[in-house]
Structure 1
């Protein structure tokens, strides 16, 4: 079973098409050197990029991720959405990581209109 870091490295490298060359910032080698916190932030950005794609492109990426032994794109989006719901239920963003999750999802099509408005309220209330 792959660790969270291995999953995030594979996902980000695949979305941003980084070949495994040492000079590419999105290569598996380069991404593996980053902290788990940094990878989570970049993975949120990758989810944001994916949400702007056509459904057929998202499905293609999902199949490719599964072929590589990684979770499907929908699974990664669901995980981010669950984190978002925890923050919404609490009623406030506690730290930068949560801010990044809410900001990232607020700019995607993952959220419906009601959740989008809640995201904007949370972002406005974060100091």
Structure 2
């Protein structure tokens, strides 16, 4: 199933609740599934990626570029420049990690990162 921008917007609101420890990761993935129809595996990945971005840490799963852009813009709006930079750093680490897998490069995500840094 393709993850739409509407699904990502709703999932972001739930992921924020996980980040602020209002709900657990498990409760979050179930809520994302109920609210958006996103499967629980993708919902879990969404939460994991969001938390990694907030902490500036590498993540291994990927999302479409529209979702990545939404996450960057939303984090900047809701959490400020410090967390926005952490999100960009985490995504750069993801691009670097992905390039070691021999499956090509994430040139679209790299372009978004470069554009948002400037």
TM-score band by shorter chain is 0.3 to 0.5
Task: Provide TM-score, normalisation by structure 1.
Answer: 0.33
Task: Provide TM-score, normalisation by structure 2.
Answer: 0.35
